[in-house]
């Protein structure tokens, strides 16, 4: 944990395997090294993007822009504890600040030197580790459409996609001035409705093409390839999310995506770090938490609605995941003013 994780970042960041101690130490690990002459254009582009994002996000929260699936997130202080959510396939371009994300036991620290993409719906835990009122954490989030990725992959890789180095669902790579510059132009166009309607889709395509052509591109391309293991796992994940309160079997999911049981189990864990049953359990607990917060259900009612037959089992597993018993955890969230409006927040 002594060496800076983000310094010298090339095509990928190797995740740390650790527990919560890693999150406490990640602040020191994610501080950027002094900018070199080559990094100055990136710094300038990031400064411009941060200014534009701050104008669209004047206070803490999530702000949706004119382009469907495009929004800005702002936080003006580090988060006290891990925040859990299920994120869809997205690209995150950080303009300012730093954050740490956990997938299973793997820890991914990132700041404005990084691009972060999520290949499938993933239940993650995140913590903003660098933010202030003067320099808030600002990130532009673009949802990734597998069909659009597939279309652009054919143009970016007319002779076939190189074999990716990993199939993990969290993809972290080095940002570029070209991608940040295109992101800034995309946000800038939001101020002009006619321009946004005509030009924003073209700029989104530019961002995605540049993403596909950068070192993490082959991994991003897997999101749109029908026969890739990532796309098959995404199909299974989608089914589990739609039917998380039902019983599932490994055999049934493997049959759904036309894979052998052993191959499906291997690929599912490679992408999500979890088994299908572990994945379903996290989804159930996150949804139960949302129901208790937004619909004022008690722990027993929320447990039954997400498919638990045993209240004591629900309480044990909830406490193990969130660190507090259901009633105490929800009371703390309400005290902090946190409301979970949907499953992807």
Give the mean model confidence (pLDDT) for residues 190-200. Answer: 89
Q: Which of 333, 325, 237 lies closest to 285, judged by CA?
A: 325
For residue 23, the model assigns a pLDDT of: 39
Q: Which two tokens stand for residue 297?
A: 């259900």
Q: Which of 26-30, 74-78, 124-128, 324-328 has the lowest average pLDDT?
A: 26-30
Confidence of residue 15 (pLDDT cuts 50, 70, 90): low
Q: Which of 9, 280, 272, 20 lies closest to 126, judged by CA?
A: 20
Neighbours of 91 (CB within 10 A): 21
pLDDT at 27 over 70: no
pLDDT at 182 over 90: yes
Q: Which of 306, 309, 308 lies closest to 288, judged by CA?
A: 306
For residue 338, the model assigns a pLDDT of: 65
> Which pTM was predicted?
0.82
Residues 40-94 have pLDDT tens digits of 688 889 999 999 999 999 999 999 999 999 999 999 999 888 888 899 999 999 9
Assign 184 to helix, strand or coil: helix
**CA 172 vs CA 56, 108, 115, 214, 309: distances in Å:** 25, 8, 6, 11, 39
């Amino acid at each position: 944990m002594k060496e800076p994780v983000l310094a010298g970042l090339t095509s990928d960041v190797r995740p740390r395997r650790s527990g919560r101690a890693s999150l406490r130490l990640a602040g020191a690990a994610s501080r950027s090294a002094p900018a070199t002459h080559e990094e100055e254009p990136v710094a300038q582009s990031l400064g411009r993007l941060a200014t534009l994002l701050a104008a669209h996000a004047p206070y803490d929260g999530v702000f949706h822009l004119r382009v469907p699936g495009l929004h800005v997130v702002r936080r003006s202080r580090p988060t006290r504890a891990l925040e859990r959510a299920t994120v869809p396939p997205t690209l995150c371009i950080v303009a300012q600040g730093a954050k740490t994300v956990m997938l299973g036991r793997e820890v991914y620290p990132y700041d404005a030197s990084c691009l972060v993409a999520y290949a499938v719906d993933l239940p993650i835990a995140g913590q903003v580790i660098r933010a202030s009122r003067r320099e808030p954490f600002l990130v532009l989030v673009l949802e990734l459409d597998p069909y659009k990725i597939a279309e652009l992959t054919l143009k970016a890789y007319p002779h076939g996609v190189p074999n990716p180095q990993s199939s993990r669902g969290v993809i972290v790579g080095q940002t570029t001035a070209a991608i940040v510059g295109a992101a800034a132009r995309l946000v800038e166009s939001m101020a002009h409705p006619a321009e946004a309607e005509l030009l924003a889709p073209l700029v989104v395509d530019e961002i995605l093409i540049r993403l596909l052509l950068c070192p993490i591109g082959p991994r991003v391309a897997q999101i749109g390839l029908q026969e890739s293991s990532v796309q098959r796992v995404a199909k299974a994940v989608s089914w589990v999310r739609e039917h998380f309160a039902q019983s599932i079997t490994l055999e049934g999911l493997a049959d759904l995506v036309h894979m052998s049981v052993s191959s499906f189990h291997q690929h599912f864990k490679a992408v999500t770090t979890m088994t299908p049953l572990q994945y379903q359990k996290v989804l159930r607990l996150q949804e139960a938490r949302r129901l208790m917060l937004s619909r004022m259900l008690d722990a027993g009612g929320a447990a039954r609605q997400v498919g638990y037959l045993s209240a004591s089992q629900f309480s044990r597993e909830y406490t193990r995941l969130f660190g507090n018993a259901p009633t105490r955890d929800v009371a703390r969230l309400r005290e902090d003013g946190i409301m979970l409006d949907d499953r992807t927040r």
